[in-house]
C-alpha cells in the first residue's frame, strides 16, 4: 500500500467543481497545507464549500486566496470576518455572493469527529440562548437545554503534518494537531502535506497521531515557510492608558495583571485573544496551568526572540509561547472536551459588551453571518468562573457595561467578574458590585461612566 503522490497538483487533480473541502490549520499561518491550497487555486476549481476555522487575512496562503479567486460559494467556519481586517470574503459575504454558516470552534471539530465516527447528530449545551440556535431543535437533559447539532462530512480534507510514511501514518508536531484529526476523519479523501516522508516504521508507533487508515494521500510540501515570520505585530505601538475625565486609567498590562490576581492557585485557566493573552505574563510563578484551544496544556509566557521561538508552540491567539515542565499537546476535539466537560476552572475573555444580567457579547457587532465566534461559546458552556477583561468604554466613548447587550450574545447569565481599565466588578446573586476602582478616580465617576446599574461595595479599594 503506497499513498505517496508525486506533487500537490497530482494529489488534488480529481477535485471537481462543487466539492466540499475541510482545510485544517490554526491562527495566522501555523501549519496550513499551503502547497495544496496553491495548487487548488491554480487549478481554478469553482463553487467550493470550505470548512475551516477561518479563511485568514488578505493574501494569506489559506482559504482566503481561494476567495480572492472567487472559487468559494459557501463557508462553514468559526470566523467569517475579523474586525479591522477587510477581505475579499467579507465583501462577498456582505454582497450575498458567499453563503455562511457560523459554527462555534469546538462544535465545528466535534461535528466533523461525529461525521467520521458514523454519528449523524448529537446534542450540545454550546450556543444555547444565542442567535445561532434560533429555529433549531432544543431538548433538556438534566434540566439544562441542549441544541441538536448535525454531523459534518466532507469530500476532501487538506491537512498539514510534520512527517508521514507510505502507509498514510502521520505525526504532528507540538501544538499543530488542532483540526487535523477531526477533519481527516470527516473526509472521504484526506490529503496530507508533510515536511518529511519516511518509510513504514520510520515513525515510532507511539508517535503516530493519525493512523494510516485516515490518511488517503501523502505529498511532500513544496512551500518552505519561515514559521518565525508568523509573529503577530501589536496593533497599538505602545500600551498607553485611555483618558477618562482627563485622567489616565489602567494600561492593558495593568488590566491583565489585575485579572491575573483573580486566578486561584491550583487551577486550570483558559485565556482568550486580545488583552487576556497578556495575563500569561503574570502567572509565570503561580500554581496555575494554562489551556489553549489549539491543543496545549501547560504553556507559559509569550516569547519573541528567535532563540525562544518554536513555530509549533503557540497559544490560541497565534502568539509564540514558552512551555512549562509537564506540558502536553493534543487535538482540538480533546481541547474542547476539557472546556465543555467542566475541566477548566477559569476562563478569561475579552468582550464588546456585558450587561446587568451577566450576559456577554464578544463575537459580532452585526449579525450571525459576520463575526468571529472562535471557541468562546464552547468555553462558556463549561462550569468554570468567567472573568471578562475589557476597556470601560469603546473607542467612541460609549459604555461597554450596558443595561442590555445590543450586540448578539455569546452567553447568558455567565459572567462572574468584569475587569476594566476603571473598575473591578463582581457578580453577587443578581447584580454587579463595584469592588475596586482605578487610582485617581472616585466610585461616583466610575458609576457615571457605566450604563448598567451597579452597587458600590462598602469599602471600594483602588486597583493595584
Does the annotation mark 234 as catalytic? no
Cα–Cα distance for residue pair 17/140, rounded to 1 Å: 41
- Name which of 2, 54, 67, 1 is nearest 28 in CA terms: 54
Grid cell for residue 203: 515513525
Phi, psi of 277 (to 5 degrees): -60, -25
C-alpha angle with apex 239: 293 to 283, nearest 5 degrees?
A: 45
Given the residues 293, 353, 391, 436, select the one marked as catalytic. 293
Cα–Cα distance for residue pair 324/348, rounded to 1 Å: 20
- Residue-wise over 404-436: b if at least 16 C-beta within 10 A, else e? ebebbbbbbebbbbbbbbbbbbbbeeeebbbbb
Burial grade of 303 (CB within 10 A; 0-12, 13-18, 19 or more): middle
- Name which of 55, 36, 40, 130 is nearest 100 in CA terms: 55
CB atoms within 10 A of CB 446: 24
DSSP assignment of 120-146, as one string?
-EEEE-TTTTSGGGTTS-EEEETTEEE
The DSSP symbol for 351 reads -
- Catalytically active residues are 293
Amino acid at each position: 500500500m503506497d499513498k505517496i503522490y508525486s506533487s500537490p497538483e497530482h494529489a488534488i487533480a480529481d477535485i471537481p467543481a462543487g466539492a466540499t473541502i475541510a482545510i485544517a490549520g490554526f491562527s495566522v499561518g501555523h501549519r496550513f497545507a499551503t502547497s495544496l491550497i496553491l495548487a487548488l487555486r491554480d487549478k481554478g476549481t469553482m463553487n467550493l464549500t470550505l470548512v475551516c476555522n477561518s479563511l485568514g487575512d488578505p493574501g494569506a496562503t489559506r482559504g482566503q486566496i481561494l476567495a480572492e479567486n472567487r472559487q468559494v460559494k459557501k463557508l462553514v467556519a468559526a470566523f467569517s470576518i475579523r474586525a479591522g481586517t477587510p477581505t475579499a470574503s467579507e465583501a462577498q459575504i456582505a454582497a450575498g455572493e458567499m453563503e455562511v454558516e457560523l459554527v462555534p470552534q469546538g462544535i465545528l471539530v466535534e461535528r466533523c469527529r461525529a461525521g467520521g465516527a458514523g454519528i449523524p447528530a448529537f446534542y450540545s449545551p454550546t450556543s444555547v440562548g444565542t442567535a445561532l440556535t434560533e429555529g433549531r431543535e432544543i431538548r433538556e437533559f438534566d434540566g439544562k437545554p441542549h441544541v441538536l447539532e448535525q454531523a459534518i462530512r466532507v469530500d476532501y480534507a487538506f491537512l498539514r503534518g510534520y512527517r508521514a510514511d507510505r502507509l498514510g501514518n502521520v505525526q504532528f508536531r507540538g501544538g499543530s494537531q488542532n483540526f487535523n484529526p477531526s477533519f481527516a476523519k470527516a473526509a472521504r479523501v484526506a490529503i496530507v502535506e508533510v515536511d518529511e516522508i519516511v518509510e513504514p516504521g520510520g515513525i515510532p508507533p507511539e508517535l503516530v497521531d493519525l493512523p494510516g487508515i485516515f490518511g488517503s494521500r501523502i505529498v511532500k510540501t513544496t512551500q518552505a515557510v519561515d514559521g518565525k515570520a508568523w509573529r503577530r505585530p501589536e496593533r497599538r505601538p505602545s500600551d498607553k492608558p485611555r483618558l477618562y475625565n482627563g485622567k489616565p486609567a489602567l494600561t492593558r498590562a495593568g488590566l491583565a495583571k489585575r485579572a491575573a490576581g483573580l486566578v486561584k492557585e491550583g487551577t486550570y485557566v483558559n485565556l482568550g485573544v486580545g488583552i487576556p493573552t497578556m495575563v500569561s505574563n503574570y502567572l509565570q510563578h503561580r500554581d496555575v496551568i494554562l489551556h489553549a484551544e489549539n491543543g496545549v496544556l501547560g504553556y507559559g509566557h509569550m516569547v519573541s526572540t528567535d532563540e525562544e521561538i518554536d513555530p509549533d508552540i503557540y497559544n490560541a491567539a497565534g502568539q509564540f509561547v514558552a512551555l512549562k515542565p509537564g506540558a502536553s499537546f493534543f487535538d482540538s476535539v480533546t481541547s474542547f472536551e476539557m472546556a465543555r466537560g467542566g475541566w477548566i476552572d477559569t476562563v478569561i475573555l475579552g468582550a464588546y459588551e456585558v450587561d446587568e444580567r451577566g450576559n456577554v457579547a464578544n463575537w459580532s457587532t452585526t449579525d450571525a453571518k459576520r463575526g468571529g465566534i472562535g471557541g468562546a461559546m464552547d468555553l462558556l458552556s463549561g462550569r468554570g468562573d468567567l472573568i471578562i477583561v475589557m476597556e470601560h468604554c469603546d473607542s467612541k466613548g460609549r459604555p461597554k457595561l450596558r443595561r442590555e447587550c445590543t450586540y448578539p450574545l455569546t452567553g447568558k447569565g455567565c459572567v462572574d467578574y468584569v475587569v476594566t481599565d476603571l473598575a473591578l466588578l463582581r457578580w453577587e446573586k443578581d447584580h454587579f458590585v463595584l469592588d475596586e476602582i482605578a487610582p485617581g478616580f472616585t466610585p461616583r465617576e466610575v458609576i457615571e461612566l457605566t450604563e448598567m446599574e451597579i452597587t458600590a461595595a462598602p469599602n471600594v479599594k483602588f486597583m493595584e
